[in-house]
Amino acid sequence: MFDPAVTHATRPVWQVGALCRAVADALQARFNPVQVRGEITGFSRAASGHCYFTLKDRDGQIRCAMFRRSASALAFSPRDGELVEVSGKLGVYEARGDLQLVVEDMRRAGQGALFEEFLRLKARLEAEGLFDAARKRPLVAMPRAIGIVTSPGAAALHDVVTALRRRVPHIPVVLVPALVQGAQAPASICQALSKLYLLAQQGQGLEPVSVLNPAAPPIDAILLVRGGGSIKDLWAFNDEAVARMVVQSPVPLISGVGHETDFTIADFCADLRAPTPTAAAELVAQPQDAWLGALQLLAGRLADGVQRQLDQRHQRLDTAAQRLGRPSALAARQQLQLSRLAQRMRHGVLLKLQREAQTQQGLQADLPQKWQRALERRDQHLERLQLRLELLSPQRVLERGYAMLTDVDGRAVTDPAQVRPGEALQATLAQGRLDLTVDQRRLL
């Protein structure tokens, strides 16, 4: 007969935590690692970087946790309603006793084969050197024109055009439309890029489909853009022909495909990868205000330089004027020289007059008129000499408004450094003298 007391005594009594650990060990031995497909619901990312969500399908659901280290390696941003495949380990969250899947890797469902193909092509092209940083060129600071390859009906085109109109409305933009999704998209993208390459190389020969500015000079940068989507939606940009066409661009090419977490082969081949189409437009178009600000700064520097040069020239002119405004020493030397010349002239004239007087006495009887004319010429000559002496006289300089400064000892003052404030000076003018006292001095 069944004895409840005996049965109860033979069974172990579990502590709750020990039971949770035992269940976790059983799950580890029986299932882990495990792969699960399901729809995300209740996704949240904590401040610590850990992610929490639930995977569900029609028949059930399971709580999931993805810790920061694994979450930081995600190539996309999970969203509610998204079908994903995850791999991880089943366990028990002992604090609540809940079954929990600790996710170590996540990818969008149905994309495993495409992703593996992506990795194989990426490795092969990287080995060929298509991704080498040495072959990538810097962007032109001020492109003459910008080319765009995308779908004319895509939201990405609206975002790019809006950004370019806001930042560089003066730069011409040429759109060459292309399919950006589907089986025909790779060939369409290659054809559109080849047209822009001709325009970039030759500056002619292409009638643009859409030009925001009528004048279209040679293109200096190309934007290859598309909005976000699944790996299947973006697969045209993982095509080998597109990759090889991208690296043939004669001008810097910026790839702006998908969202920030989306990466394509075209991104690695481009000269620069932008996280979004709008970011691609902003990278190639420095704001007009920034250039105008730089231009104003340079104009200010130029004006300052010109003003400094003018100030220096004015200072030199003032110095020269001040030197010309103190002619006393020069006038004194010239006056002395003129006095000597006048004395020698008078002495010479007297000797000559004496000789001519003697000659006149001998010729007076025969040449009275000739002698008279000679005397007149000599008188006129003396008058001219006298006039020149008067013009060179320091008195005339003083009459023009100049003054000669001397100190109390009669020494000429020619430099402000010779005097001190409060010192007495005397200014000689054309019609008299002035007694002065130095108030302040200014040295050049």
Asked if residue 125 belongs to a domain, the reply is no
Residues 383 and 329 occupy one common structural domain: yes
Output the 3-class SS for the chain.
CCCHHHHHHHCCCCCHHHHHHHHHHHHHHHCCCEEEEEEEEEEEECCCCCEEEEEECCCCEEEEEECHHHHCCCCCCCCCCCEEEEEEEEEEECCCCEEEEEEEEEEECCCHHHHHHHHHHHHHHHHHCCCCHHHCCCCCCCCCCEEEEECCCCHHHHHHHHHHHHHCCCCCEEEEECCCCCCCHHHHHHHHHHHHHHHHHHCCCCCCCEECCCCCCCCCEEEEEECCCCCCCCHHHHCHHHHHHHCCCCCCEEEEECCCCCCCHHHHHCCEECCCHHHHHHHHCCCHHHHHHHHHHHHHHHHHHHHHHHHHHHHHHHHHHHHHCCCHHHHHHHHHHHHHHHHHHHHHHHHHHHHHHHHHHHHCCCCHHHHHHHHHHHHHHHHHHHHHHHHCCHHHHHHCCCCEEECCCCCECCCHHHCCCCCEEEEEECCEEEEEECCCCCCC
Asked if residue 349 belongs to a domain, the reply is yes
The enclosing domain of 259 has a CATH number of: 3.40.50
Residues near 169 by beta carbon (within 8 Å), at least 6 away in sequence:
212, 213, 288
Residues 422 and 370 occupy one common structural domain: no
Q: Where in the sequence is the domain holding 40, given as residue range(s)? A: 4-109
Asked if residue 92 belongs to a domain, the reply is yes
Asked if residue 136 belongs to a domain, the reply is no
Residues 379 and 432 occupy one common structural domain: no
Full pLDDT tens readout for the chain, 444 residues: 455 555 555 677 776 666 766 766 666 666 678 888 888 889 999 998 899 999 888 888 888 999 989 898 887 788 887 888 888 888 777 667 677 888 988 887 765 667 778 888 999 999 999 999 898 998 888 888 899 999 988 888 988 988 888 888 888 888 999 999 988 999 999 999 999 998 887 654 444 444 444 445 788 899 999 988 777 888 899 999 999 999 999 999 999 998 877 789 999 999 999 989 998 888 888 766 666 666 677 777 787 777 778 777 777 777 776 666 555 666 667 777 877 887 888 777 777 777 776 766 665 555 567 767 777 888 888 888 877 777 777 777 777 777 878 888 878 888 887 788 888 888 888 788 888 888 877 765
Residues 148 and 275 occupy one common structural domain: yes
Asked if residue 388 belongs to a domain, the reply is yes
pLDDT computed for residue 189 by the predictor: 94
Asked if residue 133 belongs to a domain, the reply is no
For residue 139, CA distances in Å to 146, 266, 273, 278 come to 11, 17, 12, 16
The enclosing domain of 90 has a CATH number of: 2.40.50.140
pLDDT computed for residue 51 by the predictor: 93
Residues 164 and 255 occupy one common structural domain: yes
Structural domains of the chain, count: 4
Between CA 112 and CA 119 the distance in angstroms is: 11
Residues 279 and 185 occupy one common structural domain: yes
Residues 205 and 235 occupy one common structural domain: yes
pLDDT computed for residue 208 by the predictor: 45
Residues 30 and 93 occupy one common structural domain: yes
Between CA 395 and CA 380 the distance in angstroms is: 24
Asked if residue 295 belongs to a domain, the reply is no
> Of 67, 83, 109, which residue sits at a domain end?
109
Residues 414 and 388 occupy one common structural domain: no
- pTM score above 0.75: no
pLDDT computed for residue 218 by the predictor: 83
C-beta separation of 257 from 267 below 8 A: yes
Residues 374 and 427 occupy one common structural domain: no
Asked if residue 138 belongs to a domain, the reply is no
Residues 273 and 195 occupy one common structural domain: yes
Residues 276 and 361 occupy one common structural domain: no
